[in-house]
Amino acid sequence: MDKHLTQAPASGEVIKPRSAGAVVFRRSEQGAWLLVLRAFGHWDFPKGLVEDGESELITARREVWEETGLGEIKFALGEDYRETLPYAGGKIARYYLAETEVEKITLPVSLELGRPEHDEWRWVSLDEADDLLPPRLAVVLEWVRAALGG
């Protein structure tokens, strides 16, 4: 069996690969700004597959570091999170809320790819995020909006 597939105990259904990441935000006088990344023409928050023996929260921290170079993040709501509805073959992504004070991002070069994993990054308002991000992230954005009071 694939290392990312596990058997659900009660129903016998196969659970698809799980991703974890973070909605990284920074505060300004104009309000909260969310960090979004673009790859293959699609915008998303930093995220990636949970590795064997790794918790989702550790994955989120690792993926933020690998994809943005941000090491100084604070999980604003601790271990609280929101998950997407299943997408792309049943995958579910879990997102935590992470705060940074860093404004300038440099996309690190992936050793595996020889280039950054993403083509572009932006700080966007919650309203701009609604327009840029795919519908599967709507529940996550609602949660972020409520948490940040926006």
**How confident is the prediction along the chain (150 residues), in pLDDT tens digits per residue?**
333 333 344 555 555 558 999 999 999 999 999 999 999 999 999 999 999 999 999 999 999 999 999 999 999 999 999 999 888 888 999 999 999 999 999 999 988 889 989 999 999 999 999 999 999 999 999 999 999 986
Q: What is the pLDDT of residue 140?
A: 97
Q: How many Å separate Cα 16 from the centre of its chain? A: 17
Q: What is the pLDDT of residue 149?
A: 86
Token pair, residue 97, equals 């809320």
Separation CA 28–CA 18 (nearest Å): 33
Burial of residue 102 (number of CB atoms within 10 Å: 0-12, 13-18, 19+): middle
Q: What is the pLDDT of residue 150?
A: 65
Tell me the helix, strand and coil percentages in the chain, rounded to 5: 25, 35, 40
Q: What is the pLDDT of residue 12?
A: 54
How many C-alpha atoms does 104 have within 13 Å on its Cβ side? 0
Separation CA 96–CA 110 (nearest Å): 23
Homologous superfamily (CATH) of 6-148 is Nucleoside Triphosphate Pyrophosphohydrolase (3.90.79.10)
Containing 64, the helix (H) or strand (E) segment is: helix 56-68
Separation CA 81–CA 65 (nearest Å): 18
Q: What is the pLDDT of residue 90?
A: 87
3-class secondary-structure state, position 34: strand
Question: Quick check: 75 and 98 in contact, CB under 8 A?
Answer: yes
Q: What is the pLDDT of residue 2?
A: 34
Q: What is the pLDDT of residue 104?
A: 94
